[in-house]
Amino acid sequence: MEVWKWILDALPDKLMVQLVQETGLQIDGFRKVNTSLIKMIRPKLVKTILVPSKNLKKAINYMNRVNPDFHEIRQKNRRELVDMMANGQKKPSYVLTALMTSRETAHLTLAKSLFKDLGTDGRLEKWEHANNQDENEKTKKHLYIKEIKELKRKLDNEAKTFNKVEKKLSQQLQRSQKEIQKLYNEIDKRKEENKKMMQSIQQSKQDLSERNKKLGEKDKEIQKLKKELAILHEKLDENKETIATFKHKNKQPHKVIQKRQINTSKEKAAMIGDPKNSKLYPLLSRFDVTIIDSVDIGDPIKQNILKDSKHVWLLTYRVSNRNQNLVREYVQHRLKEFSDFRSFLQYLEGMNSD
């Protein structure tokens, strides 16, 4: 019984639960055994399996049924079994289970002999826990590789998005340059006409003034587009630095998620700070809401969104004091501030009851 008690104590929680469920063992005081209870009732569970003997027979039959490769263990000699356990090929609990579930007396005798000789000097426990540590290391490595792959996938998606935006801005820049050249050509043409049409000098000056004004507006638009393109390049560089830092420090970079749903029939609203609460979704359905991260307050594109929005909501409990001040400087008359989630929820409920 001492060997069986050691085996059952070493059996993982998940396998112990499967053993109880599959064999139909009844534990006094518990209708059902699951992984959340197993640690608390394990001593009582081990005792129930060992006594009476019919429960142990059920357990032996189940183990033989789900482990058809036990016969390979039983064909090994003592030296081979010791080497398998020492090298980490098989756990000691697995080897002893294979021998103790056999119907042959020789296997039972060998199991008890191994338990006595290797258990006395602590080798059984050492080899059992060494295997557990190896499995934990493999699990950690697998999770780390999985995180790296997920991070790479997200960065690839961000790169694709950036390329699309960059291409669009580049096309806009080219169109603006063509329009500017067209205006320059028009100005030259007008100047030439002025030489031949002295009687319409005044009118020609007015036309020239208007075109110069348009030219200035186009120049401003080009400068704005150049600034926006520079900001996008900076963000890409920041992403590259983030992945480099992650590889050295094993930290997942901060992720920025922006959600924007466009519906021209709804009132536009800008929300600075993400409340991260699904209770608000039904109340926000009547608005065309853009959620702006507090770190993007200085972004010209986000400032245009604030300018075009009928409602601007500042969640001060989600935004730093510094960024709150930036918002207050840029938005004044349409700005509403909320210091906690409850006050924001009550405000939206009032808006929807109108």
> Per the structure block, which two tokens stand in for 317?
């409990």
Place of tokens 């992720």: 255
Q: Where are the domains of the chain?
A: 1-132, 133-223, 267-353
What average pLDDT is seen over the chain? 82
**pLDDT per position as a tens digit, 306-333:** 888 999 999 999 999 998 998 888 887 7
Q: Which CATH class is domain 267-353?
A: alpha beta
Does the pLDDT value for residue 247 go beyond 50? no
- Whether cis (ω within 30° of 0) applies to the bond prior to 275 is no
> Per the structure block, which two tokens stand in for 41?
């009732």
Average pLDDT over residues 30-46: 82
Tell which wins on pLDDT, 52 or 347: 347
Tell which wins on pLDDT, 222 or 39: 39
Q: Which of 70-74, 129-133, 265-269 has the lowest mean pLDDT?
A: 129-133
The vertex-12 CA angle with 7 and 15, nearest 5°, equals 95
> Per the structure block, which two tokens stand in for 159?
């790169």
Does the pLDDT value for residue 89 go beyond 80? yes
Average pLDDT over residues 25-48: 82
Q: Is the dihedral of CA 288, 294, 296, 298 positive or negative?
A: positive
Q: Which of 65-69, 167-171, 204-208, 233-237 has the lowest mean pLDDT?
A: 233-237
DSSP three-state, residue 257:
coil
Q: Which of 169-173, 200-204, 277-281, 340-344 has the lowest mean pLDDT?
A: 200-204
Angstrom distance (rounded) from CA 312 to CA 305? 10
Place of tokens 């029939």: 265
- Whether cis (ω within 30° of 0) applies to the bond prior to 52 is yes
